[in-house]
Structure 1
Amino acid sequence: MMYPFMTLNDDTEITHSEMKADGKVKVYIETPDEFGGFHNATCWLPDYKWEDIEGYSDTEMAYFKQLIRNNAHLIIEFSQEGGILNAANS
């Protein structure tokens, strides 16, 4: 299951998984493109291992890497509480 975390002004969606048994959390970033498709990237926390990067420039990836690094503590916390919406209701 993936939980919403953040939507940016350009309609980029950032979602995350629940925390896996091995302590890892999948973070998925997806931005619609002008051709009806999507640019996407996946990051695994807490290792910050990036994979499946498609369509993003080096500048965009530098931004996303910093954004995820700055918010990793929140994403990891929410991954243990059923997402931000469930955490807000606790």
Structure 2
Amino acid sequence: MAAEGRAVAVTAANATRYPVAPGYRLNVRSGPGTQYPLVRSLPLNATVAISCQKYGETVTGPYGTTNIWDSIAPGEYVSDSYVHTGSDGLVAPRCA
């Protein structure tokens, strides 16, 4: 069992992280839209690991207009328009 725990930790540590747009304290929502409750705000210069992505409310941010929302933890979503993924499409699997 200990080996399994280490493997998960290594996988999580090596997850690709994407930078949030400079100068923004990005709001994290409980679902893919601004109508969902605010969970927390990310600090300036944050990076996020995207576990999956989901379509939701269309938002315009520094990286364009999109309806893609990034899941950064269970029940935590940020608009992809504030995350520099280098793509206008999905960069992670679709959320269930």
TM-score relative to the length of structure 2? 0.21
Looking at secondary structure, tell me which structure has more helix per residue. Answer: 1
Q: TM-score, normalised by structure 1?
A: 0.22
> Higher Cα Rg: structure 1 or 2?
2
